[in-house]
Amino acid sequence: MKLGFIGLGRMGFNMVLNLKDHKIQVVAYNRSPEPVKEIKKHGVEVAYSIEELMGKLPKQKIVWIMVTAGKPVDAVIDEVMPYLNANDIVIDGGNSFYKDSIRRYNKLKNKKIHFLDIGTSGGLSGARHGACLTIGGDKKIFKRIESTCKAVSAKNGYAYIGPTGSGHFVKMVHNGVEYAWLQSLGEGFEILARGPYKNLDFRKIAKVWKNGSVIQSRMMEWAEDAFSKDPKLSKIEGVVGGGETGQWTLTTAKEFNINADSIKLALAARKKSRKHPAFAGKVVAALRNEFGGHEVVRKR
């Protein structure tokens, strides 16, 4: 199998290296040339234009897209469509809204081009060494790329979910859960920080919590890493970015008459952090930086 990969951001760059490690032939392209030049140093075949990329793929083409959600995905699909034929496959491995994925599926279906939506989780380390993939689309088309999904995912870390949109729907809900989970961790550490016992060792607490406790998790591992680098998170502000996928989750919950109170409060806390930073926000921002490379606001 040889596929074209479009989008060399933080996740895409690592995913391409993961593909290469598993002997999957890939041609990588990015709109700005710097990441293309960088990934070429790792022995990856590259292209500097869509035309060059598509020209390096076999007759039956597979294109894996990993760009920012929304208009950038539509723009890439519009760019590659003239080079695609019936039975070719387009994969969106980014964080797209599931209804957009259904729309794109129908658009490509009219040209007899197949579309799969893949929710990709696991952060940068997952993309590099073993991701969590939730796949939506026609099952027979999924079967054509299943070996690739298995290769780049963690053990038992991929699943065919169901019809078009379901892969991104499940990833959207995952992100909503992540919002609430991050906020609860942030609030817990803020209570520790402001409670009656001064100078607690947060790294030590995260370490013991990750071993045998009810709340042990990869998130706790990232918390330990964050506190090992900055024990009191004194180098960053309590300002939290993001919010798009959390808002999608809330909008969907409202559509189906679900309260989703914890996710709602977590999203509100993120917005509040931009005007009224708190220690909980520092924890959330630090964790997002650990697992996803998301930007933090450094103290001046």
Asked whether the beta carbons of 131 and 18 are under 8 A apart, the reply is yes
The confidence score (pLDDT) of residue 1 equals 87
The confidence score (pLDDT) of residue 300 equals 83
Mean pLDDT for the stretch of residues 108-123:
97
Distance of alpha carbon 289 from alpha carbon 123, whole angstroms: 10
The confidence score (pLDDT) of residue 209 equals 98
The confidence score (pLDDT) of residue 131 equals 98
- Structure-token pair, residue 113: 């081009």
The confidence score (pLDDT) of residue 268 equals 97
Is residue 107 classed exposed, middle or buried when 0-12, 13-18 and 19+ CB atoms within 10 A define those classes? middle
User: DSSP string covering 44-97, please?
Assistant: -EE-SSHHHHHHTS-SS-EEEE---TTHHHHHHHHHHGGG--TT-EEEE-S---
Tens digit of pLDDT for each residue in 216-273?
A: 999 999 999 999 999 999 999 999 998 899 999 999 999 999 999 999 999 999 999 9
Stated pTM of the model: 0.95
- DSSP letter at 298 equals B
Mean pLDDT for the stretch of residues 166-190:
98
Task: Reply yes or no on whether 41 is catalytic.
Answer: no
Q: Which of 171, 210, 264, 282 is catalytic?
A: 171
- Structure-token pair, residue 183: 């906020």
CA 91 → CA 35, 67, 125, 164, 288, distances in Å? 21, 11, 21, 11, 26
For the chain, domains (ranges, CATH) are: 2-162 (3.40.50.720), 171-292 (1.10.1040.10)
Distance of alpha carbon 218 from alpha carbon 290, whole angstroms: 11
Q: How many other C-beta atoms are found inside a 10 Å radius of the C-beta of residue 247?
A: 16
Distance of alpha carbon 237 from alpha carbon 273, whole angstroms: 9
Is residue 211 classed exposed, middle or buried when 0-12, 13-18 and 19+ CB atoms within 10 A define those classes? exposed
Is residue 246 classed exposed, middle or buried when 0-12, 13-18 and 19+ CB atoms within 10 A define those classes? buried
Tens digit of pLDDT for each residue in 78-107?
A: 999 999 999 999 999 999 999 999 999 999
Say what percent of the chain tops pLDDT 90.
98
Task: Reply yes or no on whether 171 is catalytic.
Answer: yes
Tens digit of pLDDT for each residue in 17-53?
A: 999 999 999 999 999 999 999 999 999 999 999 999 9
Q: Which of 178, 187, 237, 290 is catalytic?
A: 178
Tens digit of pLDDT for each residue in 153-174?
A: 999 999 999 999 999 999 999 9
